[in-house]
Amino acid sequence: MSVLWKNCTTRGAVVGGFVGLASAVILTIGSASVWEAVMLNPKGSAWFPYNSAAIFSMSAAFFTIWLVSILDNSAQAKKERALYPSQQLRSETGLGASGASGH
């Protein structure tokens, strides 16, 4: 999202990443693929009805990134928003990227 959305902040990306990771792990453990097949619980006892949690965990992550970024009014967030146009230019054209490779 940070490459495609000008209002994405680092705080939003970090919090959203943790929400996506946690929800993916929790929902995957509760699916039949893990709850029944790996943990050997009885068939039909899985509390998450789908084998893949991606549609839910990705949605939760993107929503959290959006919400936290919109609500973030810190000085760092303002700086990141101001620097977005130059980041977009580098990511889409490569102009100015040679200066960043001296590490």
pLDDT at 103 over 90: no
As a whole number of angstroms, the distance between CA 12 and CA 40 comes to: 37
**Widest distance between CA atoms in the chain:** 58
Q: Is the dihedral angle over the CA atoms 4, 10, 15, 17 positive or is it negative?
A: positive
Contacts of 5 (CB under 8 A, 6+ apart): 69
Q: In this predicted structure, what is the pLDDT of residue 50?
A: 94
| Distance separating the N- and C-terminal Cα atoms of the chain | 25
pLDDT per residue as tens digits for the range 23-58: 999 999 999 999 999 999 999 999 999 999 999 999
Closest CA to 70 of 81, 79, 59: 81
| pTM: predicted TM-score of the whole model, two decimal places | 0.84
